[in-house]
């Protein structure tokens, strides 16, 4: 049996309500959409599922409401083989919900009501001591309170564990988030917000990555959608391309990338090889509808060239 590295994911879990449409409505406009789907999502949950499906032994720290969506998500995590011992259901908050519109080109708009996700606290992080100690890679994002994210980063550094910060959704961060951080994985929009540098080409991507590197981040990966990813590390600097495909829905493509990246790195792959693997997973995900419904398995990836 293949080695399954321990991956600890800290983040949000939502239920995604997805409507397909030819185009996005303008402010004040009502349009008739197409198919409606109810799909488990949330950046943390998506990344946990992605890591589990491509070969990781995943533990997930999150919070859900004691409601139908919470029960559905919890059952889904168990079916994916994810350790749910650190997931709490709280009775006085609803589970997180995302309202998603997907247009005919595969682009999306998303509004998130965090609900129980807003109550993932530093106390929950401190209570997960043994999970931090045993994790090969730790992965977190920004759909949970920023003090909680910073607590994850500080605890990982204290334990000497590599942590990947996916700074999504885009928000400004203090310098404390960057110093000594193992890896950051912004997309173009997030990288611009964090550095003030608009990414138009490889040169500007390198400038933004260099700026993040200069803040104390050890490894910077800027995801570029169909353009692949720009990597800036001590040993490698450059863009890694990805296969061109017809996108159906870009929801969870970044989450798929990060989950697959964490597993590949935990298995000892070089950053270049890990990024190539993660791009392969993300490229397959954009050819399918939905968040977790689009995430490929290791078996599916092995069948793709």
Q: Is 16 annotated as a binding residue?
A: yes
Q: Is 50 annotated as a binding residue?
A: no
Q: Is 76 annotated as a binding residue?
A: no
Distance CA 305, CA 294 (A): 18
Number of H-type helices and E-type strands within the chain: 10, 13
Q: Is 57 annotated as a binding residue?
A: no
Q: Is 226 annotated as a binding residue?
A: yes
Distances (CA, A) of 187 to 27, 34, 69: 26, 29, 29
Q: Is 46 annotated as a binding residue?
A: yes
Q: Is 288 annotated as a binding residue?
A: yes
Distance CA 64, CA 184 (A): 26
End-to-end CA distance of the chain: 23
User: Residue 98, by phi and psi: left (phi above 0), alpha (psi -120 to 50) or beta?
Assistant: beta
Q: Is 249 annotated as a binding residue?
A: yes
Among the options 67, 124, 201, 255, which is catalytic?
Answer: 255
3-class DSSP state for residue 112? strand
Q: Is 238 annotated as a binding residue?
A: no
Catalytic residue status for 201: no
Q: Is 44 annotated as a binding residue?
A: yes
C-beta neighbour count of 158 within 10 angstroms:
9
- Known binding residues are 14-16, 42-46, 143, 187, 223-228, 249, 251, 254-255, 285, 288, 290, 294
- Known binding residues for substrate are 14-16, 42-46, 143, 255
User: Annotated active-site positions, please?
Assistant: 255
- Known binding residues for K(+) are 249, 251, 285, 288, 290, 294
């Amino acid at each position: 049996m293949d080695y399954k590295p321990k991956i600890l994911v800290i983040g949000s879990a939502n239920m995604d309500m997805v409507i397909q449409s030819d185009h996005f409505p303008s402010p004040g406009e009502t349009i008739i959409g197409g198919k409606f789907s109810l799909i488990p999502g949330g950046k943390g949950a998506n990344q946990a599922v992605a890591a589990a499906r491509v070969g990781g032994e995943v533990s997930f720290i999150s919070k859900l409401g004691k409601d139908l969506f919470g029960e559905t998500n919890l059952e889904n995590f168990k079916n994916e083989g994810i350790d749910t011992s650190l997931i709490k259901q709280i009775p006085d908050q609803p589970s997180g919900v995302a309202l998603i519109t997907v247009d005919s080109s595969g682009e999306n708009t998303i509004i998130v009501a965090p609900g129980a996700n807003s109550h993932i606290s530093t106390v929950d992080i401190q209570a997960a001591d043994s999970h931090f100690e045993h994790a090969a890679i730790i992965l977190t994002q920004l759909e949970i309170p920023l003090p909680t994210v910073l607590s994850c980063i500080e605890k990982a550094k204290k334990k000497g564990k590599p942590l990947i910060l996916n700074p999504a959704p885009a928000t400004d961060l203090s310098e404390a988030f960057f110093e000594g951080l193992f890896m950051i994985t912004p997309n173009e929009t997030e990288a611009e917000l964090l550095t003030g540098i608009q990414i138009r080409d490889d040169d500007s991507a390198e400038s933004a990555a260099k700026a993040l590197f200069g803040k104390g981040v050890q490894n910077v990966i800027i995801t570029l959608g169909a353009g692949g990813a720009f990597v800036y590390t001590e040993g490698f600097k450059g863009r890694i391309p990805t296969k061109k495909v017809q996108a159906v829905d870009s929801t969870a493509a970044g989450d798929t990338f990060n989950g697959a990246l964490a597993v590949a790195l935990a298995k000892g792959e070089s950053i270049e090889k890990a990024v190539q693997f993660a791009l392969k997973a993300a490229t397959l995900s954009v050819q399918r509808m939905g968040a977790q419904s689009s995430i490929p398995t290791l078996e599916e990836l092995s069948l793709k060239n």
